[in-house]
Amino acid sequence: MSIPKNNYTYPTTNFIDRVCTPLMNFADVAEMFRVLESTEARLEMTSVIVNFLKTVPRDELRDVIYIIQGKLHPDFYQVEFGMADKLVLKAISLTTGVPYEVIENTWTKIGDSGEVAEKLIKEKKQITLFSETLSVARVVKNLKLIEICEGKESQMLKTKYLASMLHDSGPIEAKYLCRIVTGKMRTGASIMTILDAIAITFATKEERSEIERAFNITCDSGLVAETLAKNGMRGIRAISVRIGNPIKVMLAERLSSLSEIIEKMGGTCAVEYKYDGIRAQIHISGNYVKIFSRRLEDLTDNFPDIAKSLISHFRGKEVIVEGECVAISAKTGHIQSFQDIAHRRRKYNINETIKDIPVRIFLFDMLYLDGIDLTSKPYFERRKLIEEWFNIAGIVQMSCMKIIHSTEEAERFFNDAIKERCEGIIAKSTKNESVYRAGSRGFLWIKYKKDYCGNFIDSFDLVVVGAFYGMGRRAGKYGALLMASYDSKSGRYGTVCKLGTGFDDNFLDNLPNLLNEYKSNEKPHLLDAKIIPDIWFQPGIVLEVVGAEVTISPNHAAGMNVIKEGSGIGIRFPRFTGRVRYDKEPEQSTTVSEMIKMYNMQFTDFDLTT
Interface with ligand ATP by CB under 6 A: which range of 144-152, 272-280, 350-358, 381-389? Answer: 272-280
Distance of closest approach, residue 185 Cβ to ligand ATP, in angstroms: 25
Q: Determine if 248 is a binding residue for ligand ATP (CB under 6 A).
A: no
Sign of the alpha-carbon dihedral angle for 176, 179, 183, 185 = negative
Identify the residue among 72, 143, 180, 252 touching ligand ATP (CB under 6 A): 252
Q: Determine if 37 is a binding residue for ligand ATP (CB under 6 A).
A: no
- How many angstroms separate the CA atoms of 77 and 515, rounded? 24
Identify the residue among 251, 418, 580, 596 touching ligand ATP (CB under 6 A): 251
Cβ atoms of 444 and 437 closer than 8 Å: yes
- How many angstroms separate the CA atoms of 38 and 52, rounded? 15
Task: Give the residue with the Cβ less far from ligand ATP, 371 or 442.
Answer: 442
User: Mutual orientation of helices 26-37 and 171-182 as an angle, nearest 10°?
Assistant: 80
Distance of closest approach, residue 365 Cβ to ligand ATP, in angstroms: 7
Distance of closest approach, residue 451 Cβ to ligand ATP, in angstroms: 9
Task: Give the residue with the Cβ less far from ligand ATP, 66 or 379.
Answer: 379
Cβ atoms of 483 and 498 closer than 8 Å: yes
Cβ atoms of 327 and 305 closer than 8 Å: no
Determine the residue type at 89.
L
Interface with ligand ATP by CB under 6 A: which range of 188-196, 266-274, 333-341, 527-535? Answer: 266-274
Cβ atoms of 305 and 292 closer than 8 Å: no
Distance of closest approach, residue 428 Cβ to ligand ATP, in angstroms: 7
Distances (CA, A) of 130 to 77, 133, 138, 398: 37, 10, 18, 66
Which residues make Cβ contacts (< 8 Å) with residue 270, sequence separation at least 6? 379, 380, 383, 401, 402, 403, 404, 427, 428, 429, 430
Identify the residue among 202, 275, 314, 486 touching ligand ATP (CB under 6 A): 275
Of residues 394 through 413, those in contact with ligand ATP by CB under 6 A are 399
Q: Determine if 462 is a binding residue for ligand ATP (CB under 6 A).
A: no
Site string for ligand ATP, 348-387 (x = CB under 6 A): ----------------x-----------------------
Which residues make Cβ contacts (< 8 Å) with residue 260, sequence separation at least 6? 604
* Backbone angles phi and psi of 331, in degrees to 5: -80, -50
Interface with ligand ATP by CB under 6 A: which range of 61-69, 160-168, 247-255, 545-553? Answer: 247-255
Site string for ligand ATP, 205-244 (x = CB under 6 A): ----------------------------------------
- How many angstroms separate the CA atoms of 279 and 218, rounded? 18
Closest CA to 91 of 142, 164, 182: 164
Beta-strand pair 527-528/492-499 = parallel
Task: Give the residue with the Cβ less far from ligand ATP, 232 or 442.
Answer: 442
Distances (CA, A) of 334 to 54, 303, 328, 358, 420: 57, 19, 5, 11, 8
Residue 132, SS3 per DSSP: coil
* Backbone angles phi and psi of 365, in degrees to 5: -155, 150
Other C-beta atoms closer than 10 Å to the C-beta of 350 total 14
Q: Determine if 291 is a binding residue for ligand ATP (CB under 6 A).
A: no
Distance of closest approach, residue 294 Cβ to ligand ATP, in angstroms: 6
Q: Determine if 279 is a binding residue for ligand ATP (CB under 6 A).
A: yes
**Catalytic status, residue 274:** yes
Interface with ligand ATP by CB under 6 A: which range of 187-195, 271-279, 377-385, 479-487? Answer: 271-279
Query: Which of the following is catalytic: 90, 175, 274, 584?
Result: 274
Identify the residue among 90, 138, 167, 274 touching ligand ATP (CB under 6 A): 274
Which residues make Cβ contacts (< 8 Å) with residue 80, sequence separation at least 6? 147, 183
Q: Determine if 272 is a binding residue for ligand ATP (CB under 6 A).
A: yes
Task: Give the residue with the Cβ less far from ligand ATP, 273 or 493.
Answer: 273
Q: How many residues bind ligand ATP (CB under 6 A)?
A: 14
Identify the residue among 295, 382, 447, 575 touching ligand ATP (CB under 6 A): 447
Interface with ligand ATP by CB under 6 A: which range of 274-282, 350-358, 381-389, 598-606? Answer: 274-282
Task: Give the residue with the Cβ less far from ligand ATP, 1 or 596.
Answer: 596
Task: Give the residue with the Cβ less far from ligand ATP, 399 or 520.
Answer: 399
> Long-range contacts of range 37-43, CB-CB < 8 Å, 24 or more positions apart?
37/186, 37/187, 37/188, 37/525, 39/188, 40/492, 40/525, 40/526, 41/490, 42/193, 42/196, 42/489, 42/490, 42/491, 42/492
Count CA atoms closer than 13 A to 584's CA, side-chain side: 22
Interface with ligand ATP by CB under 6 A: which range of 248-256, 304-312, 335-343, 601-609? Answer: 248-256
Distance of closest approach, residue 249 Cβ to ligand ATP, in angstroms: 6
Task: Give the residue with the Cβ less far from ligand ATP, 86 or 264.
Answer: 264
Chain residues that interact with ligand ATP, rule: CB under 6 A: 249, 251-252, 272-275, 279, 294, 324, 364, 399, 426, 447
Residues with a catalytic annotation lie at 274
